[in-house]
Amino acid sequence: LQGSIPSEIWNMTNLTELKLYINYHTGSIPSEIGNLTNLTQLYLGNYHTGSIPSEIGNLTNLTQLYLGNYDTGSIPPEIGNLTNLTTLCLFGNHTGSIPSEIGNLTNLTSLILSGNSLTDSIPPEIGNLTNLTNLNISNNQLQGSIPSEIGTLTNLTGLRLYNNQLTGSIPSEIGNLTNLTVLTLDENQLTGSIPSEIGNLTNLTWLYLNHNQLTGSIPSEIGNLTNLSYLVLEHNQLTGEIPETICNLVENNCSIYISTNQLCPPYPSCLVYVGIQGTNNCD
């Protein structure tokens, strides 16, 4: 389907579901969308331009909102009015910052803001969303540090923040997220050492910290993560010796990638390949 969505749609005020995604609709999303106050599900994944209208905040009965468009504007703060949402998925080309009002959406179980052009930092109010099981803000241009409030999201099973411009250290509070199975913080500008609390995340199957600026040694607690299928630490500035506890992972057929660091020999005999290591500062 092509062209714009006919304006008569916005007069259908008894609608409870509107799903027009995976089409080729163009034009902007009009402010009249705010008339559909009985909607519980709204899916618009097309080629709309312009901003999300602030009137989206009128749709307080929504439980699922999916806007996979090519919008060029920011996420309006009125999104925080939609306190019945359990799923919020916005991707395409949304710009600007993540509004702090997103912390009002305490019923969310899935928040997906990936593949946008979002800037500024992750608001600390994200820590209010304690029912989240899936948080994906990857492939943006987010800056600043990962807020320590992330540690309150103890129901998370997936945390994906890769391919941003995040700085600072990995907060130790990340060790509170013991239900995580996927943690991907790769392709950022994270510094500091890997916190020893990472060893608390014994349900992890994927741990991606590669392509950052992490320093210090690999904590011995990494050996607690015996459910890992992938441990990817390459392209950092990690130093010191590789802990022998990493062999616990090898015994469970974990694929380990630690090349392009500054890790010193002798290397654990269980590792077949450590790749290129800068050993100039090793004893």
Beta strands (DSSP E) in the chain are 2-3, 17-19, 24-25, 41-43, 64-68, 87-91, 95-96, 110-112, 117-118, 134-136, 158-160, 182-184, 206-208, 230-232, 239-241, 255-257, 262-264
Spatial CB neighbours of 27, under 8 Å, sequence gap ≥ 6: 3, 4, 5, 48, 49
Average of per-residue pLDDT across 40-59: 90
Considering the entire predicted model, what is its pTM? 0.95
Give alpha helix (H) positions in the chain: 247-250
- pLDDT of residue 71 exceeding 80, the answer is no
Handedness of CA 182, 184, 277, 200 (dihedral sign): negative
Residue 107 pLDDT grade (very low, low, confident, very high; cuts 50, 70, 90)? very high
Residue-level pLDDT at 28: 86
Cis bond upstream, residue 266 (ω within 30): yes
- Token pair belonging to 66: 């999916």
pLDDT digit string, tens, across residues 132-172? 999 999 999 999 999 999 999 999 999 999 999 999 999 99
Residue-level pLDDT at 61: 98
CB 223 within 8 A of CB 249: yes
